[in-house]
């Protein structure tokens, strides 16, 4: 895509987010299966449902603008997900593995929040009020997911013995 206008940048950002979300939708079932904590499994399952809603929102926005959803593959998300998937292969304590999964998932959430925040700001500048509201809704969902992961991590951390290595 050629970036010639703010609108073309906006469409590029939306397509990038669409790619990121579809990659997340594919990755989440594997993470759910690999998690040991019931709370973490439930949070990830819930976010899988929300992810589909977010994909649908992006589809609606892009369609309204007469654009295809498919753009270039979001390489940033691909890298974050690839790195996070490595945690599933780690051996050892299940609680520590869940904490590593949470860390990986929070990297995903923060990447998404950056993307949605930027897209929302562009939508506001383009006076796309309906788009801006939908993107704000998604941004709130991503922030909520991040907060929930932090809460689960806090609980899991309380279950881990701290080793003092000199």
pLDDT digits (tens, 9 = 90+) for 94-146: 999 999 999 999 999 999 999 999 999 999 999 999 999 999 999 999 999 99
CB 148 within 8 A of CB 43: yes
pLDDT band for 54, please (50, 70, 90 cuts).
very high
If pLDDT is split at 50, 70 and 90, which confidence band does 165 have? low
Prediction pTM value: 0.93
Distance CA 136, CA 122 (A): 12
CA distance 20 to 33: 21
Residues with Cβ within 8 Å of residue 3, at least 6 apart in sequence:
9, 12
Nearest Cα to 77, choosing from 39, 99, 53, 104? 104
Rounded distance between C-alpha atoms, residue 116 and residue 40, angstroms: 24
Taking residue 157's Cβ as centre, other Cβ atoms within 10 Å add up to 12
């Amino acid at each position: 895509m050629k970036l010639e206008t703010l609108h073309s940048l906006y469409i590029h950002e939306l397509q990038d987010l669409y790619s990121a979300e579809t990659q997340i939708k594919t990755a989440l079932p594997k993470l759910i299966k690999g998690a040991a904590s019931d709370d973490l499994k439930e949070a990830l399952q819930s976010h899988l449902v929300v992810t589909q809603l977010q994909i649908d929102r992006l589809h609606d926005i892009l369609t309204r603008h007469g654009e295809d959803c498919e753009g270039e593959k979001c390489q940033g998300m691909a890298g974050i997900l690839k790195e996070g998937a490595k945690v599933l292969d780690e051996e050892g304590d299940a609680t520590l593995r869940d904490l590593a999964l949470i860390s990986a998932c929070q990297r995903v959430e923060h990447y998404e929040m950056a993307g949605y925040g930027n897209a929302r700001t562009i939508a506001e500048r383009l006076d796309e009020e309906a788009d801006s509201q939908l993107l704000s809704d998604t941004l709130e969902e991503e922030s909520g997911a991040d907060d929930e992961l932090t809460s689960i991590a806090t609980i899991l951390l309380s279950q881990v013995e701290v080793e003092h290595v000199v």
